[in-house]
Amino acid sequence: MTDHTTTGRPEHLRGLHAGLERAAAERGLLDVAYRIVDSPVGRLLVAATERGIVRIAFELQDFDTVLQSLADRVSPRVLEAPGRLERAALELDEYFDRRRTSFDLPLDFRLTGGFRGEVQRLLPGIGYGHTTSYAELAHAAGRPRAFRAVGTACATNPLPVVVPCHRVLRGDGSLGGYAGGLDAKRALLRLESA
């Protein structure tokens, strides 16, 4: 896999990249900025538009595929610009260090819509350290029989961790699925229960 981090580049390439990032931002040519952050659940790609965080992806989702999807669905003007995501990286670090229980980041929900979007907007209402079931979330969304659609909404959540779909479990208390893998879901739930 391609390493997208600037830290692994020689000094002269970091300087060139920083200049490119600055010039793109000054000329309004940077529509999607991204950076890679390390976390206890693996490396995460965090991408943002001017509206807010638009995508968070786990490494197993293939960062190159995610970046191509952002280029196709949002704008082809995508560039690694870690400075634009400093606040997001800081809040994620605080969360993983158990110093933050909710996020104060602006979010861009353009990659979702309809009932999925409605469900995803309900997810931050599930308190830190708490869980709910797909059926309970379907009821909260006003469609009590749509628990499978709620599962799909969680599975397609473009903003995992920050929009906490990991807090949704099956009715019997088992984990269900998770875009980052079940080990990541377990780790997030353990982190929040400690």
Q: Catalytic: 154?
A: no
Query: Is the distance from CB of 51 to CB of 97 less than 8 angstroms?
Result: no
Give the neighbor-by-neighbor strand order of the sheet with 53-58: 53-58, 44-48, 32-37, 78-80
CA atoms of 171 and 160, how far apart (whole Å): 21
pLDDT at residue 8 tops 80: no
CB 123 within 8 A of CB 163: yes
How far is the C-alpha of 68 from the C-alpha of 55, rounded, in Å?
12
Q: What is the pLDDT of residue 3?
A: 39
Q: In the block, which residue shows the tokens 């001017």?
A: 50
Query: Catalytic residue among 33, 66, 111, 165, which?
Result: 165
Per-residue pLDDT tens digits for 63-122: 999 999 999 999 999 999 999 999 999 999 999 999 999 999 999 999 999 999 999 999
List domains and CATH numbers for the chain: 6-96 (3.30.160), 114-193 (1.10.10.10)
**Contact, 47 vs 61, CB < 8 A?**
no
